[in-house]
Amino acid sequence: MMRVMMWFILSLIPAVTLANVYPLPEKGSRLIGEVQEHVVEQGDYFQTIAKEYNIGILELMETNPGVDPFLPAVGSKLVIPTQMLLPDVPRKGIVINLPELRLYYFPTNGKEVHVFPVGIGRVGRETPEMVTKIKSRIPNPSWTPPASIRRDHLIERGEVLPRVVPAGPDNPLGKYAMQLSHGDGSYLIHGTNKDFGVGMRVSSGCVRLNPDDIEWLFHQAKYGDSVRVINETVKISSEPDGSQIIEVHSALSKSESDKTREKVVSMKAGIVKFISQDGIDSFKANDALLTQNGLPVNISSMDDSDSITPSMDIESAASAESSVSENEPSASL
């Protein structure tokens, strides 16, 4: 019932977004942006707020735990997660970090990064990690759903999907799609004809963007551009000013039952070494690993603050191409 209610509410919201653009940080730094505050007004709920700041609803929930996403208290302050560490990968092309539900686009000018919320594969149809490239760019795509999706759709909804869904308002790919070279080419970065699902795990494996975002990205990204999909729950950075920053996101659920369990962060050797070095406040580090709120936290022992973000009254908030293809993609959606 809660899922049905959420989808109904989200369907009433117009899909108007504005890209978040950040200048690249100085050499040796990975920290971009600033945390913002949002004072809840009458009629606000998480999806309207997420649309306003062009962030995903799940990242807003991650940053503001305990707050009712449908009825946040009027007058309370919410944390808007518009500060982040860049993923520890080459800064080129498209980078998608699955636990963040964010897409990073690095233009060739090397001056900025554009960050967008994305929808990714749901449990059982996960978006895979990959290092690939854009195989084709398709305006006004038709959709050829694979047999597995047609079968699941029939079982789950009792509806028969057509073998080909033509371009138009009923096409779930939206107005633009970019086919990836990975595997058999069934994975796409595409838009949507719905006003919900971006910033959530609802797709059949493809990466979904808001209509305005995919339109912009489609006209910037080129055939052959790099696309890297990663699964990085913990990001770290030793900043030029000596700050030691960690950002922790909840791990992706691997099954339906896994959703109700406490998520244990799996750390690579480099992260264990980072939080074990001299000058790290172990209490702050452990708190960040347990909280998993997706915000950059300064865990330097010399730092007086627990976080590089403003102080937030969360308890109060909780209570109160150069090549364009005309092919029809057979896509996971």
Active site residue ranges: 190, 206
Task: Please answer whether residues 154 and 161 qualify as being in contact, where contact means their C-beta atoms are separated by less than 8 angstroms.
Answer: yes
Q: Where are the alpha helices (DSSP H) in 105-187?
A: 147-157
* Residue matched to tokens 């980072």: 274
Q: Which residues 6+ apart lie within 8 Å of 205 measured at CB?
A: 121, 125, 126, 127, 128, 186, 187, 332, 333
The Cα–Cα gap between 13 and 258 comes to 30
What residue ranges in the chain does DSSP mark as E strands? 20-23, 31-33, 36-39, 77-80, 83-85, 93-97, 102-106, 112-117, 120-121, 130-139, 176-180, 188-190, 201-203, 207-208, 226-230, 234-238, 244-248, 297-298
Q: Which two tokens stand for residue 321?
A: 């191409």
